[in-house]
Chain A
């Protein structure tokens, strides 16, 4: 569990750094951003491989949701844990399934709303290092108990990712709280949640009925601009339609000023435009833009900017986009 906390915190810090690098004098530093993205990848791998309660989006309590229809899911098959907390023995299988072909489009799991968000991200084709497998195994054995307890707690799509305080928010409040805090979307504040200092709840608290929320008409519509429907500045050619509003940010934020605001993520994504790094993907999944030709906003026009991968972005929810992209 500690791994997850640490990983969580590091991911949020890293995203904050990348966000802040936009405004640094002298342009974006390629070296530093490369290193940050490597850290982000490592942290994300550990985070994904360290199962935690609340991260799994089951339907009715205890009943694992069926694996979602996955658009463009590679032949490797859905990663273990789709729609249900993977059994401990699957720790190994996590490691096995993770090295999927990079071309795998992002899974549609969050769309269904009950899939394991990390599977989504995994599906993006991040190739974890060998060490992740060990961490995964260790994390598995540790977390098994709470997992059961949390099985019944539904999570909105991208709920798991809602854990990540992003952007500036992240840098302001590094979260050390147990990730169990995200469990209780519909349930009365679970203890971990109350104890959570930053309570990075996803905005979409409301959907314990995940399937209802899910259908997001993703497809070729492209990556969402997020709930605030902030259009990505010059996000050519990948148009980000106003994704929004299936997940209004207002959600469960009223009670807690520290609620996660998906608008933040949306902004983050929009601001970065299509200048995401496919760094985490070893092979180009699809149309790649020459960074010289990239026009997605001034920050992306910087020669050191790293390009996005359109098909990847197209098929992911904003949360996953933000995470995976870096």
Chain B
């Protein structure tokens, strides 16, 4: 197992696929998610579209495909809507996509915008029935009186067609903007969370949901925190967590009560008073929370760091990894240009030994939990020639800038990587950089 001893993150990361588009704003990728097997990768964008990529099977006839991801299906999931009662436009931007475990030949995923969650069925069709009696090949109905003989339709192969159809629409359950959905390990229910409430749904039932968390104060003037992310435990179907804008994470057990306003566990790291600033509250707001695959740990992402928590220890995180601490002195500028409100996501690798999250200037960071090493890589067109290896990058935080380093002031804050995903088993990662999607494969060097 010599191979395993080397740091996951210090592999040679090569471009597997790079889908770059020059399309306008609507194509900013807003979510990226591998399915359970990793063969499918779904992306949602600001225009309400979902694009699914499928991994090519490596086969002898095409040895160089190396398991590339190619477009499998594209469909419009959500359209812009208008709430006439409140005179509000509802954005079609896809906030989250979550796959359901595969149970038959079709694939199912949940996609959500600010208000409505939809269950989509993606199925393949590679056969077509021919030889109907009541309609001819063009589909026109035949006059029954003219039929003189009967035949049995036969199935003929056709070009593969991938169809996406909405099977369920879960609407009108959220007053505030939905920020998370999470499929339960029972594969029958899922939760959806908005700023103040979390609802529990059954996948088969669209006309009702159960409210399991409600932090809306009786007097909205007393509002001090909102829910920022929520997720079910990967194995315990009664446990879920939700994070707040105050930097806290609450773990709730649905067996304890119908309304889980009282948490079972409360995870918070005491604030360091010496680092207090105007923006302390903003940067402590948690933008993403993810359970590890094992279910023993969870990870939270706030503006400057990623923290790994042990579910058995509420008082402080197990590990804290600084993503871009050099931005701490720039918080005022980042507040002005709104970057401080960016919500970065984070993800685990399949073995929970490494974590990854995005940063600015199209940089993303990987942290190896075993070796305590980290690396900064860049997802850009220049560094994405096929089979090119990503070079580790470094940000110069002060003093003399070495060659190949980038100074903090030259970082491009418009190029942000908010969404990343890691293949559930292999060393394959998907990185969304604005409206470009990069898929990298790691090879031990």
Contacts and interface: CB of A to CB of B under 8 A. Distances in A.
A131 B273 contact: yes
B221 A43 contact: no
Nearest to B276: A131
B176 A303 contact: yes
A10 B175 contact: no
Contacts of A34: 223-226, 245
A188 B273 CA distance: 43
A278 B221 contact: yes
Interface string A268-296: 00000000011101111000100100000
A13 B336 contact: yes
Contacts of A288: 219-221
A6 B332 CA distance: 9
Nearest to B179: A31
B136 interface: no
Among B85, B196, B221, which residue has the most Cβ atoms of chain A within 10 A? B221
A288 B223 CA distance: 13
Contacts of B85: 301
A304 B341 contact: no
A301 B91 contact: no
B221 A277 contact: yes
Interface string B318-348: 0000000000000010011010010000000
Contacts of B87: 298, 301
Given A6-B278, A6-B332, A10-B335, A27 B175 contact: no
A27 B245 contact: no
Contacts of A298: 86-88
A131 B273 CA distance: 8
B282 A10 contact: no
B281 A38 contact: yes
A13 B179 CA distance: 26
Contact of A307 (B175, B220, B226): B220
Contact of B226 (A26, A31, A131, A309): A31
17 contacts: A6-B278, A10-B278, A26-B88, A26-B114, A27-B177, A30-B226, A31-B228, A32-B341, A34-B225, A34-B226, A35-B245, A35-B281, A39-B278, A39-B335, A43-B278, A279-B224, A284-B221
Interface of B: 85-91, 93, 114, 175-177, 179, 195-196, 219-226, 228, 245, 273, 276, 278-282, 285, 332, 335-336, 338, 341
Interface of A: 6-7, 9-10, 13, 17, 25-27, 29-32, 34-35, 38-39, 42-43, 46, 131, 174, 277-279, 281-284, 288, 291, 298, 301-307, 309
